[in-house]
Amino acid sequence: MLSRSNVGFRRSIVNDTGLRAQNQTTSGQSTTKLFKAIDEENLGDFERALTEGANVNAFNEEGMTPLMSIASIYIASNNQPALEEMAKLLIQKRSININAQSKQPVYKEIQKKDRFGRLLYLFRGEEVAETRPSYYIYCNSGQPVDNIDDQGIRRYFSYEYDGVKENVRTSEIQKNTALHISCQVGARDIVKILLTHPDIKIDIKNCQNKAPTDLIARGFENIIKLEFEKARKGKELLNALSGRNIDQAKRLLNQYFNPNCWQRNFNEEIETLLSLIIKSCLQGITQDNEEVLTKLLKHKELDFSQIKPIPAIERNQWVKQIIERTIKEQLTDTIDKKDLDGVKELVKDNCFINHAIVTAALRNVHNPIESIKNYLIEKFPATVEQSSANAHNVAPEINDEFIAQELQRLENLEGELERTKSQLAEKEQELNRVVDERTRDTDKISQLERDLRQERLKLQAQNQDLKNKNRKLSEASIYNRRQSNYSSASFVLFGAFAVGACLTISNLEICISLAVAAFVFLTIGCYCSYKASTVLSDVISTELGNVICLG
């Protein structure tokens, strides 16, 4: 018998399974809607599909992801701005696999055959089959083909010129990334957008072992390769601003770079070049970071849609003034050039432009063209601007509820402050403990270093004593050999003179002289022999005495 708990457990499993299946179905429908919105170039439906949880890494029937689909249809599109916005929305999704490779099949071109396996050719607009070499029949009627020309020569059909060709699907897949496809079709603007992603890889190879730069469409080589270089410089500038290296940033600003490169910080928030330099200026304006901010705001390719209104700018009049002045100058120059498209691009999604800036820019231009003037007045009407200003400047009504909310907010802030203080005290204690441990370790290391130095000094002294001993023994050994040689020579001479004295005994004077000489050499030999035998023993006894004294 099933218990109530078992029944409840099984029921919960069924409910969870049903909920997951429902979520998967909803996600699948949203993904289908996403691909359909891309095909129809409908930005509104696309945004709604993303909101509903569409899978941004899903593959369609053609084996392409949404990003690949955008790249493949971009050149032939009638609404390229919508596709660009779709691409920007996709690459900023945290879950996007920017380096995904397509599952499109590879097709191989071969010559078509009929159901009997005979090669087919095209002759005078009709398909003919080769029954045997140089003999053909019409596929529709089965009648023989008269392929004899006016000179009576039989005409041969060739695969290159007359063969009927068809594409056959193979088991291979193309493995192209969205960047491969964008380069292949020459979609420069999509390439530019893709290269801003921090995780984009430009060296991935497809099934033909080719990188994206190897597939750039003819005629687009220079401009697309320039985009790769600009993206590299843009990411160098991003790293410089992240590291607060303003000097390097100033140098990079004088080169070609992509101003829309971005990264995610530790809080998973998107940081752009503009947001980083604005953050630097909010912390304190200097001549250098003001110069970087001004040059970046004047960059023609800067995408303001990445920047959201920053409340801190409203509270910092200096930074707000720099931004508004720079944008007003840029808008004035664009209006003066009578460039309506440039004006539209500048004001699109630009949260820094308002009615006051537009009015000042139009006032600074002598006789602006009507199309630009009408566009700006329609896009930034005075009533809307004033209503917006009033909405921002009207103070909230002060009542009991408002006071209670403010008091509650203050209590929350006080509680958060106390928690922060407590955490800070704990961190300080932990830091003191670590410092004490490091101090003890440092003292131990210092003592060990002193002991090591003493041992080294002792070892050096012992080495010096050993060298002195070796030197004395060497000198004594040399002296011993020398005295031994002298002794041997003296004894030889003694023997010679003694023999001579014996032989000349009849001549007393000569005999006495030789005898005296023999005696002298005998004395010298005995002395040298004595010195040779005593010098080593003296050195050894001296060293033994030193050892005994040290002991």
Q: Are residues 228 and 143 in the same domain?
A: no
Q: Are residues 49 and 196 in the same domain?
A: yes
Q: Are residues 63 and 206 in the same domain?
A: yes
pLDDT at res. 515: 82
What angle (nearest 5°) sits at the alpha carbon of residue 227, between those of residues 223 and 232?
150
Q: Could you tell me where the beta strands, DSSP code E, fall in 133-278?
A: 135-138, 165-173, 262-264, 270-272
Whether 487 maps to a domain, the answer reads yes
Among 311, 332, 366, the domain-final residue is 366
Whether 151 maps to a domain, the answer reads yes
Tokens of 393: 């400047």
pTM > 0.75: no
pLDDT at res. 95: 94
Q: Are residues 194 and 235 in the same domain?
A: no
- Residue 337 in this model has a pLDDT that exceeds 60: yes
Whether 336 maps to a domain, the answer reads yes
Domain of residue 55: give its range: 21-103+177-217
Q: What is the CATH number of the domain that holds 184?
A: 1.25.40.20
Q: Are residues 96 and 199 in the same domain?
A: yes
- Residue 348 phi/psi, 5-degree rounding, is -65, 125
Q: Are residues 155 and 192 in the same domain?
A: no
- Residue 550 in this model has a pLDDT that exceeds 70: no
CA distance 111 to 166: 6
Whether 463 maps to a domain, the answer reads no
CA-closest candidate to residue 177, choices 57, 84, 266, 89:
57
CA-closest candidate to residue 118, choices 153, 157, 161:
157
Query: What band does 115 get if pLDDT is binned at 50, 70 and 90?
Result: confident
- Residue 149 in this model has a pLDDT that exceeds 80: no
What angle (nearest 5°) sits at the alpha carbon of residue 349, between those of residues 344 and 352?
100
Tell how far CA 184 is from the center of its chain. 25
Model pLDDT for residues 486-527, shown as the tens digit of each residue:
878 878 888 888 888 888 887 878 888 888 888 888 888 788
H helix or E strand, kind and range, residue 11: helix 4-40
pLDDT at res. 408: 67
Residue owning tokens 């990411």: 235
Model pLDDT for residues 44-66, shown as the tens digit of each residue:
999 999 999 999 999 999 999 99
If you average pLDDT over residues 456-468, what whole number do you get? 85
- Residue 537 in this model has a pLDDT that exceeds 90: no
pLDDT at res. 52: 93
Among 157, 186, 217, the domain-final residue is 217
Domain count across the chain: 4
Q: Taking the alpha carbons of 117, 123, 125, 131 in that order, is the dihedral positive or negative? A: negative
- Residue 435 in this model has a pLDDT that exceeds 50: yes
Whether 524 maps to a domain, the answer reads yes
Among 366, 387, 412, the domain-final residue is 366
Q: Are residues 28 and 66 in the same domain?
A: yes
Q: Are residues 160 and 77 in the same domain?
A: no
Three-class DSSP category at 365: coil
Q: Are residues 68 and 85 in the same domain?
A: yes
Whether 44 maps to a domain, the answer reads yes
Q: Are residues 93 and 59 in the same domain?
A: yes
Query: What band does 340 get if pLDDT is binned at 50, 70 and 90?
Result: confident
Inter-residue contact 197 to 91 (CB < 8 Å): yes
Q: Are residues 74 and 185 in the same domain?
A: yes
Q: Are residues 350 and 244 in the same domain?
A: yes
Whether 468 maps to a domain, the answer reads no
Whether 470 maps to a domain, the answer reads no
CA distance 68 to 243: 34
Tokens of 377: 């007045």
% of the chain with per-residue pLDDT over 70: 85
CA distance 104 to 548: 94
